[in-house]
Copies of this chain bind each other. A is one copy, B any other.
Amino acid sequence: MNIGEVATASGLPAKTIRYYEDIGLLRAARGANGYRHFDDRDVRMLSFVSRARSLGFSIDDCRSLLSLYADRDRASADVKRIAREHLTGIAKKITELEAMRDTLEDLVSRCQGDDHPDCPILDGLAGAEVPQ
């Protein structure tokens, strides 16, 4: 399989796959013409990475997960730890975004949104009191 086919199969752009090779996430075999070629294992591996990335795992997380994935003797506890740490990070981001949303919703709701220059949003951003 050439890179284009793998891109379609794995859901990752060809550019991204080359990039992953560049940073050592994978090694690709080369044909006589210099083209990379891939087998089903590569496709599975790239799909794995694609899924993990879409769940917000960093490239470094992916490296760890891939080595655990490849290691027949790994303990599931190791994987669970990485996933748990990641969950904590996600939960924190959600909390922060919700706080942003609440503040901003409050500011927006106070704003008339008309031709007048008075704007509670700008006032709020400028540091004026924004009571609960």
Contacts and interface: CB of A to CB of B under 8 A. Distances in A.
A48 interface: yes
Contacts of A77: 113-115
Contacts of A117: 72-76
B79 A122 contact: yes
| Chain A interface extent, by class | 35 or more
Contacts of A54: 100
Interface in A90-109: 90-91, 93-94, 97-98, 100-101, 103-105, 107-108
Nearest to A74: B117
B76 A119 contact: yes
Question: In the complex this chain forms, how many copies of it are found?
Answer: 2
Contact of A69 (B68, B74, B103, B126): B126
Interface stretch (A19-27, A30-38, A80-88): A80-88
Contacts of A122: 65, 68-69, 76, 79
Interface of A: 44, 47-48, 51-52, 54-56, 65, 68-69, 72-77, 79-81, 83-84, 86-87, 90-91, 93-94, 97-98, 100-101, 103-105, 107-108, 111-122, 124-127
